[in-house]
Amino acid sequence: FPVISGFMSGIGVIIIILQLAPLVGGVSPKASIPNVIAALPNAFSHAAFDATAVGIGALAIVYLWPARLQRIVPAPLVALLAGAVAAYFLLPGAPILGDIPTGLPDMITPVFDIDRLPDMITGALVLALLGTIDSLLTSLIADSVTHSHHDSDRELIGQGIGNAIAGLFGAIPGAGATMRTVVNVRAGGRTPISGALHALVLLAIVLGLAALAKYIPHAVLAGVLLKVGIDIIDWGYIKRSWHAPRAGVLFMIIVLLLTVFVDLITAVSVGIVLASLLFVKRMAELQLENIRMITSGSEGTSLTAEEAEVLDRAEGRVVIYELGGPFSFGVARGMARLLGAADHYGALVLDLDKVPMIDTSAGLALQDVIQQALALGKPVFVVDMCPRVRETLTKLGVTRLLSDERTSGTRLQALKSAAELTE
């Protein structure tokens, strides 16, 4: 969640920063966010009254429009219409969109050159990979905001068909646009119809409505988008950050800064890696807590009366390690260190009855513990392995370090043998 929160808040901050200059009649430079921020003082010092007036008016409309009318006429639409009318009749000094290119492109017949086929395939694969990542990322963000679940196959098939057809008209490939999707959702869009309507509106503008759309002031769009940017920021998590886990808050801040100052994909990638590392660390801590050392019958609540009696007769010469839960690579080092504490005992019994799975790293750590004990001349018993764990340890060669009697018996049999060997 902190990754998604930082990502969403970062998008909101980007939208706000990009719209501040147009709100006062300026122009946001086509550059990185730091350069846009650097240009803001100049934009504010040369603020135009007409643009600022219609921009603040549009911002006021989207904030003050009654909620009961929102479903009938969305506030952003009212702000656009009112702002355009006000600018045309009362505040003509506000910069407007101006002429918009119209008409559809001509169809282009594909030309295949066998000599360029490797380059074409390479370029197609790279674009497909980037488009896939971008679209799936956008879909995940939309799911988190709308509390829905997308169909990845349908999204990618539709994207492929669209790009294949668009290429016939000389268009560049497209993919899911995270920022526009979030704006769409925050404006009330919840179904694929909202995306289709967005495309139809653009088509209508291209086919003839451009003559009307050109009168919309940049400041009005900026006012509407400022509200969207403010709404996108995850204020709920920010308010709870004082009481939230510090690691999560740190991840959120890192992802937010990377989103604003680097790019969206890098931000999410770094956030996921950091969250995964934290998850591995916490899982390792939980797994280590499931390792219990038993040296006497009174310590082991899971021991039978006979096992407790045998262990007591050993008088501390035999130690049992009960391992519980799955063991993965994150716990390997800690497990080796913890099990290594058995050096001062005469015999070691490893009880894997409650271990459903063990991966390669943890298995090799277990092997190191067994080898260290054997090198010191101490007998080792591994008991109650489930088929999956036995298969893993057998493939790693761990079971070959011990005789069958020391890997196939019960815990009671292992305790009796260990007690006899240490007398």
**Distance in angstroms (rounded) separating the CA atoms of residues 276 and 208:** 50
Q: What is the pLDDT of residue 361?
A: 81
Q: 66 φ, ψ to 5°?
A: -60, 140
Q: What is the pLDDT of residue 338?
A: 64
Q: What is the pLDDT of residue 359?
A: 84
Q: List % helix, strand, coil for the chain (3-state, nearest 5).
A: 65, 5, 25
Q: What is the pLDDT of residue 343?
A: 63
**Distance in angstroms (rounded) separating the CA atoms of residues 57 and 188:** 21
281 to 253, 284, 285, 328: CA distances (angstroms): 20, 5, 6, 11
Task: Name the CA radius of gyration of the chain, rounded.
Answer: 33
pTM above 0.85, yes or no: no
Q: What is the pLDDT of residue 56?
A: 92
150 to 7, 129, 144, 154, 389: CA distances (angstroms): 19, 19, 10, 8, 37
Which helix or strand (DSSP H or E) is residue 387 part of?
A: helix 387-395
Count of CB atoms situated within 10 Å of the CB of 125: 10
Per-residue confidence of the chain (423 residues) as pLDDT tens digits?
Answer: 788 888 888 888 998 999 999 998 888 888 788 888 888 888 888 888 998 999 999 999 988 988 788 777 888 888 888 988 988 888 888 888 887 777 777 777 777 778 888 888 888 888 888 788 778 878 877 787 777 888 888 888 888 888 888 888 777 788 877 777 877 777 777 777 888 888 888 888 877 777 778 888 889 999 988 988 888 888 888 888 888 888 888 888 898 999 888 887 788 788 888 888 888 778 777 777 777 878 777 765 677 888 888 888 888 788 888 888 777 766 666 666 666 665 678 888 888 888 888 888 888 888 888 888 888 888 888 888 888 988 988 888 888 888 888 888 788 888 888 888 877
Beta strands in 92-190 (DSSP E): none
Dump the DSSP string for 190-242.
Answer: -SHHHHHHHHHHHHHIIIIIHHHHTTSBHHHHHHHHHHHHHHHS-HHHHHHTT
Pairing of β 380-383 and β 347-354: parallel
Query: Which residues have C-beta within 8 Å of that of residue 255, sequence separation ≥ 6?
Result: 2, 3, 5, 6, 7, 10, 267, 268, 270, 271
Q: Do 163 and 131 form a contact (C-beta atoms < 8 A)?
A: yes
Q: What is the location of CATH 3.30.750.24 in the chain?
A: 290-418
Pairing of β 347-354 and β 318-324: parallel
Helices (H), 290-326: 305-313
Q: 290-418 has which fold? A: Transcription Regulator spoIIAA (3.30.750)
Q: What is the pLDDT of residue 342?
A: 57
